[in-house]
Amino acid sequence: MLLHKEGRGPLIGFAITLIGLNAFIALFAGGTFSYVFLAISIIFYLAVINFFRYEPRKHSDGPLEIVCPADGRVVVVEETEETELLGCRCLQVSVFMSVFDMHVNWIPCNGVVEHVSHTDGRFLSAHLPKSSTDNERSAVIIRSEGGDRILVRQVAGAIARRIVTYPEVGQRVDINQNLGFIKFGSRVDLYLPLGTKVHVKVGQKVQGNITEIATLPR
């Protein structure tokens, strides 16, 4: 198992904090309580390591293919009006990441980045439909090789409070590249042009950079 680069700082910080707390408890409390606290600390630290695990993946890309941007479960597949950035009706596919999923986000298609933005907001549960518009979020619009505009929105949740987004405007991006990272999970929304053929359904378990989400109309 590899660790993602976004985990280095938090893991060092957690390690220093837990070592300090355990040393303090051992010095001033000792006995059974110190051993119990040590066991809890180890379990907690292993859980944090699991949050930041990373698995390199390779996908054979195609010009019309949309690949899943995150590990998790599909919670939305519907036609909707995207008014914030695209200003048109789209097909929305949303993937919810639990704390047990790998939290790396992936580029869903080949193309050029046209827009990158971050919006402050609330921290509602990412299961709620309002989280897409009310929660803290980052947005990336990619112009596909066929000319379609694909919106990828990283949405923070009740636990996730840190969104990292890598692409920059004007950058050429491809499947197999990391889009970013949402620390401690949450949700990723895809907005696709009407006429796109979607290959997943609500409730389906999907994997980032492995599951084929959809095929673009052109």
Say if 157 falls within a structural domain. yes
In the residue annotation, 34 being an active-site residue is answered as no
Of 90, 79, 103, 74, give the one whose Cα is nearest residue 184: 103
Indicate whether 100 and 180 sit together in one domain: yes
32 and 71 together in one domain = no
By residue range, what is the domain housing residue 200? 65-215
Query: Active-site residue among 41, 131, 144, 186?
Result: 186
Distance between CA atoms of 139 and 167, rounded to whole angstroms? 10
Q: How many CB atoms lie within 10 A of CB 65?
A: 19
pLDDT band at 1 (very low <50, low <70, confident <90, very high): low
Task: Report how far residue 53's alpha carbon sits from residue 101's, in angstroms, rounded to the nearest whole number.
Answer: 9
When pLDDT is averaged across residues 64-72 and rounded to a whole number, the result is: 94
pLDDT (0 to 100) of residue 157: 72
Are the C-beta atoms of residues 191 and 109 closer than 8 Å to each other? no
pLDDT number for residue 199: 96
Between 196 and 159, the more confident residue is: 196
Its pTM stands at 0.84
| Residue at 59 is within a domain | no
The reply to whether 75 and 32 lie within a common domain is no
Q: pLDDT value at position 204?
A: 97
Q: Is the pLDDT of residue 109 over 70?
A: yes
Same domain, 127 and 190: yes
Domain assignment present for residue 26? The answer is yes
Instruction: Identify the DSSP state of 13.
Output: H
- What sign does the CA torsion over 124, 129, 130, 133 have? positive
- 9-42 tens-digit pLDDT: 888 998 999 999 999 999 888 788 899 999 999 9
